[in-house]
Amino acid sequence: MILPIVAYGDPVLRKVGKNIEADYPGLKELVANMKETMYNASGVGLAAPQIGRPIRLFVIDASPFAEDDSLNEVDRNVLKNFNRVFINPKIVEEEGEEWVFNEGCLSIC
């Protein structure tokens, strides 16, 4: 099911998302709906707050970035297969070179 994407300015986008458990009600269906919504909007990522849910969950499919001719073969292969669901994500380390690309947030129209 394609879900409505909330626009910039919606209060849910400013809230700190809540952690969820593995038994979160309808989690599998929610993830499937988020992916369908993301693909329908030609996005590469979608966070739960963007569909009005104040929880710590996002989906990403970075395969479109694998088309970048400036990347080496290894990086292309990593991106081509990078389709993930993140639940309660936490950045523990940041490394590597900065990668310049156009922002494409689905909540900013």
62 lies in a domain?
yes
Q: Tell me how many domains the chain contains.
A: 1
Q: Is the dihedral of CA 35, 40, 46, 48 positive or negative?
A: negative
Over residues 68-76, the mean pLDDT reads: 90
Helix (H, G, I), strand (E, B) or coil at 92: coil
pLDDT digits (tens, 9 = 90+) for 5-64: 999 999 999 999 999 998 999 999 999 999 999 999 999 999 999 999 999 999 999 999
50 lies in a domain?
yes
95 lies in a domain?
no
104 lies in a domain?
no
94 lies in a domain?
no
Q: Which domain holds residue 21?
A: 11-87
Over residues 101-105, the mean pLDDT reads: 73
101 lies in a domain?
no
Q: From the centroid of its chain, how far is CA 1? A: 17
- The CATH number for 68's domain is 3.90.45.10
